[in-house]
Every structure is written in C-alpha cells, then in structure tokens.
Amino acid sequence: MTRLSSYPWHICGVGAIGSLWASALIARGSKVTLLLRDADQLTQYQAAGGINLLEDDQKVHTQPNALIPDTPPHEPIKHMLVCCKSYATIGAVLPWRKHLVDDAQILLLQNGMGSAQALQRVMPNANIYYATTTDGAWRMSPFNVVRAGIGETFIGCFSDHLLEAEIPSPIQRLLKTSKNSHSLKNNPLTPILNISWHTDIRTPMWHKLAVNSVINALTAIYQCTNGELIKHPQGRPRLEQLCIETQDVMARVGIVPLAQGLLNTAVRILQQTALNKSSMLQDCQAGRPTEIASINGYIIAQGALYHLPCAGHKQVCEDLQQACALPTKSPKN
C-alpha cells in the first residue's frame, strides 16, 4: 500500500485552516512544505518556531519546511493545497507556477466561489479540485491557531476535463486515512480531518456559499456576534430577505435546496455558533479586505444571468463597503 508520505503537499496560504491541515497531514506521515507569501511572513513563521495548533487544551507543534518565491523548491510541485483568501488566489499561486508539474493537482479550500474559474482561465491545463469544509479554526497570531470545531470536508472535481468519479491517488489516500484519526503512540494528539469525496461538489459548495451569504456580511455591517444577529431589529429582516433571494438564485442554477430550508439552517448555525465572530467581521475589524465579492457578489452575478435583481445582496455589498471603509476584492466570475 502506498504511504501517505509518498504524496508531498505544498500548502499555499497558511492561515487558520492551512495551519490545521499542515498539522494534520504531518501527523499522518505526509511531507508538507509551506509556500509563504514573502520574507516578512517567513520571519513571522521563524519567530513562532513553526505551527502551533491548540486543540482541547493540547498543543500540537510542527515545523515543516517553509519557502518564499525567492527561494524556490528543490523538487517540482505535484500536489498544492490552496487555503488563502479567495481574492488572493491568483497572486498566491502564480509565483509558484513554473515549479508546478504539468499534471499537478491543485486543491482549493476556501470560502466563496469564483477563484477556481479565474485560476482555470490563467492555467487552462491545471487539474483543479474544490474543497469545502465546516471545520472551525481561528488564528490567535501568525502560525498560532486554535481548533474551534470538528466538521466535515467534501472534495470534488472542478476542471471540466476531470471525471467526477475518478479520484486522484493523493486524495484517495487522504480519504483512507481521514477516518483513522486516533492518537498516535508518539503524538499526544492527531488532528481529526473528516474527508469525503463528492461527485457533485457544486452542491455543498453552493450550500456553504448560501449560508455565508446571509450571515457573514450582516454580522460585519452591524458589528455583532452570530448569536446577536438572530434577534437584531434591522439585521433579522434582512437575513430573511437574503434567504429568499439566495434560494431563488439556487433554484435557477439547478442547486438542490438545503433540506431544512436556508433560513432554518442559517438560524440553527447562528445558535450553534452564537458567541463566534464571522470571518468577515474579523476581517472588517482588522482592516483587511473582505471576501464579500466572492460570496454575495457571486450570487449577484449568477442571479444576473437569469435577470434576478438580488436587491438585498447588492445593498449588503454597498453597506459593508461603507462599514469597513475598504475596497473588496475578488476574481472575476
């Protein structure tokens, strides 16, 4: 049987989720190399002494090799995991393009949609896969990450030239090892990754997009936690309107609706994560660009194809830009 370590992974975008996956892959015997943005990020990595993951009051420390574009890898890149913000995808991947083999597998694990389309246009021969996760993690500081919840990750094909039922060997190996997440003898904690292959990855991608589109921007606009949005006098009516608009777009593009309905699902998630701050609220408060154009903006663009106005989503985009006083960035759809 081929060992997981036979499939080295290069991780581009080492925030909370990228750090979590790096820790989990290394614990399972995979060789991991971090592809950092620049010398400043490399300095942060060195100052942190590697990746420090805190889960259930136990700390997992790993120190994979880290590179920047000025110090290219000694071996070609065959398997790339991209966990950066959706709007940063092209800028993050292209510096490593000449080191990617022709048939490299690129796995995008991000919020929002549109980045895969943009990357495929730039790299038409790339084998691109989508991943969507409900795992929770947040970053205390660079390369110091807290595991906030164990979820499920779906992986599937994006590139049109790939067969939906044909799973590449590196991902097959991930699937085989994902359920075996018990503690290892020489490691007090092995971070759990629940990974499944999905033959129609668009459906879970759209379901997550839908939930994010009705929650994230509103929490950023009203500067509230997830739980506070449930009964917010201005936010709650807008939440309901966004759900109606989003479901209309999903129906037009042929996406199976969420089993419990979008509004019920969104409220349930808000209740379960009542004390959490959405990633968009955190970005807004930290003065970083948001991913709204890859979330609400993507829904607006898809709705326009069917002449749906999506007025609520458009207003949310305008309000968020004023609330954050920052431009939002996204690849073209």
Point out which residues pair with 186 in neighbouring strands. none
What whole-number percentage of the chain has pLDDT above 90? Answer: 78
The pLDDT tens digits for 113-172 are: 999 999 999 999 999 999 999 998 888 999 999 998 889 999 999 999 999 889 999 999
Query: Would you state the pLDDT for residue 48?
Result: 97
Q: Which residues contact 300 (CB under 8 A, 6 or more apart)?
A: 310, 313, 314, 317
Query: Would you state the pLDDT for residue 236?
Result: 97
Query: Would you state the pLDDT for residue 182?
Result: 45
Query: Would you state the pLDDT for residue 245?
Result: 98
Given 78, 208, 314, 329, the catalytic residue: 208
Across the chain, what does the average pLDDT equal?
A: 91
> Which residue has better confidence, 112 or 72?
112
- CA dist 215 and 30 (Å) reads 36
- The DSSP 8-state label assigned to residue 74 in this structure reads S
Span 310-330, mean pLDDT? 84
Question: Which pair of tokens denotes residue 242?
Answer: 């966004």
> Which residue has better confidence, 93 or 331?
93
Query: Would you state the pLDDT for residue 333?
Result: 47
Query: Would you state the pLDDT for residue 185?
Result: 40
Question: Which pair of tokens denotes residue 59?
Answer: 């700390």
- CA dist 193 and 147 (Å) reads 12
pTM: 0.90
Q: Is the pLDDT of residue 190 over 90?
A: no
pLDDT band at 4 (very low <50, low <70, confident <90, very high): low
Q: Is the pLDDT of residue 187 over 70?
A: no
Rounded to the nearest 10 degrees, what angle do helices 235-253 and 292-304 cross at?
50
Where are the strands (E) in 1-70, listed by range?
9-12, 32-35, 51-55, 58-62, 65-67
Query: Would you state the pLDDT for residue 1?
Result: 34
Q: Is the pLDDT of residue 111 over 70?
A: yes
What's the order of all strands across the beta sheet hosting 127-133?
65-67, 32-35, 9-12, 77-82, 100-109, 127-133, 153-157, 195-197
Span 33-55, mean pLDDT? 96
Active site residue 314: no
Q: Is the pLDDT of residue 186 over 80?
A: no
Q: Is the pLDDT of residue 316 over 90?
A: yes
> What string of DSSP letters covers 151-162?
--EEEEE-STTS
Which structural domains are found in the chain, ordered by start?
4-199 (3.40.50.720), 203-324 (1.10.1040.10)
Q: Which residues contact 197 (CB under 8 A, 6 or more apart)?
A: 154, 155, 156, 167, 171, 175
